Structure 1
């Protein structure tokens, strides 16, 4: 009985000692949209996951929160070496790792979390040394792409055309991955972005129709459909200067209304 108590006490002391050796180490992680600003609260944040590369053990996870950042600093001013892009309001996730020895970590960022068709995964790896914090701008992972959301037609919608009007209206909402707006002549200029609707049936591509900016972030076009059937409509946005590409798609059925004049 005495031996058991002594053994228990020894184990407890060793465990407590190990815990006392662990050093809280802070790491700031941010997600930045390519050719745009930081991904934060306005887009539902970016999901951050930090794991020990060797063991796979989860060390920290959470969501970025905060603003998209200062537009002038991020997008207009030249970036100098060691210059800081973020401020106290800029979106990020501050992780605290309790580590006893240097650990090689994998940092994953999935963003934007609340747009399933648009979100992308970015990953990097880095050594973290106990007590050596990575703060300020921290670790910035770039998220390429654009968020494209088809407004009309809706998924699985049944549409009808007439002899006089065979057009189906396609409308899409397009923003940068941080939610930054796209407008004619704006900082994110719609003239730099190709937005088109691709229309497919089972036997392949039928039409490709350009969508024109109707208002900030909203692009629209009309697809002439003369044959009844099931269609897949894919809308993409593409910027040749940056390679940024976003996409959304819906499936609809189209029938001709023979009772209409």
Structure 2
């Protein structure tokens, strides 16, 4: 009898211990918001999302955001800025379920947009997550990604031009990180942005040119006079003085010697 009681007591303690460390499914919804714009979803290739234990570095989940950019009326006031409730069924994101046994300080890293890697970079956020306490209500877990995607359409990189070239056209496409169009007097009003081309010649500063809206939407152009052979570097940047948002793209071309 004493042996039976002892075994029963030991088994009870074991079951209690197992129950105490049983993992609880914990749902997490993560979205990445383009600064001063909309969510980054499938149209821009999504954002690579990685969830880690912030203390150990253990990777808990990874994936890519998918879906739409969200509802403009929910996201943007007519005078600019975002509303408190931003998410509807159109808002792309990454959704996962973690099996947590204890509270964990979780770090989320978002990298992208994956369809425009010349403009991609990363943003990191962290917070405590409790077993069984979902992070899905309201907006879920939202990270803000600053920047513009600047895609230089011409000249293409490493283009070689003859010595009799006198003018080189520079054309660039400038959109928000979510792919939202920029244009004068539009929702993302490029007349308020500074869009310029910084030029180098053989590694030395050569000049700065204003880019002007050329249409179709999001496209800007300028003309660069060239009077000597050598390697030219072009950096086109977009800058919003209202909030410091900045993005850039780069290319090179060469004027051949005679």
TM-score band w.r.t. shorter chain? 0.7 to 0.9
Q: What corresponds to 2:73 in structure 1?
A: 72
Question: Does the CA-based 8 Å contact 1:45-1:64 persist in structure 2?
Answer: yes
Question: Does the CA-based 8 Å contact 1:50-1:59 persist in structure 2?
Answer: yes
Q: What corresponds to 1:196 in structure 2?
A: 196
Cα distance, 1:114 vs structure 2: 2.2
In the TM superposition, what whole-angstrom CA distance separates every residue of 1:101-136 from its partner, at most 9, and x where no partner exists? 111111111121222221121111111111100103
Q: Does 1:146 align with 2:148?
A: yes
Q: What corresponds to 1:179 in structure 2?
A: 179
Question: Does the CA-based 8 Å contact 2:170-2:222 persist in structure 1?
Answer: yes
**What SS is found at the alignment partner of 1:117?**
helix
Gaps of 5+ in 2: 1-10
Q: Which runs of 4+ in 1 moved over 3 A?
A: 17-20, 77-80
Cα distance, 1:84 vs structure 2: 2.1
Structure 2 distance, partners of 1:135, 1:113, is 24
Cα distance, 1:20 vs structure 2: 8.1
1:20–1:127 distance in 2 versus 1, CA, 3 Å: closer
Q: What corresponds to 2:51 in structure 1?
A: 50
Question: Does the CA-based 8 Å contact 1:148-1:247 persist in structure 2?
Answer: yes
How is 1:114-133 mapped onto 2 (pairs within 5 angstroms)? 114-133=115-134
**What SS is found at the alignment partner of 1:51?**
strand
Q: What corresponds to 2:159 in structure 1?
A: 157
Q: Does 1:62 align with 2:101?
A: no
Residue-pair matches, total: 241
RMSD across aligned positions (CA): 2.2
Deviates more, 1:146-155 or 1:197-206: 197-206
Gaps of 5+ in 1: 1-9
Cα distance, 1:79 vs structure 2: 5.8
Question: Does the CA-based 8 Å contact 1:194-1:238 persist in structure 2?
Answer: yes
Question: Does the CA-based 8 Å contact 2:36-2:82 persist in structure 1?
Answer: no
Q: What corresponds to 2:86 in structure 1?
A: 85
How is 1:2-17 mapped onto 2 (pairs within 5 angstroms)? 17=18
Question: Does the CA-based 8 Å contact 2:33-2:178 persist in structure 1?
Answer: yes
Question: Does the CA-based 8 Å contact 1:31-1:111 persist in structure 2?
Answer: no
Q: What corresponds to 1:25 in structure 2?
A: 26
Deviates more, 1:103-112 or 1:149-158: 103-112
In the TM superposition, what whole-angstrom CA distance separates every residue of 1:35-65 from its partner, at most 9, and x where no partner exists? 1000001000011110111221111111111
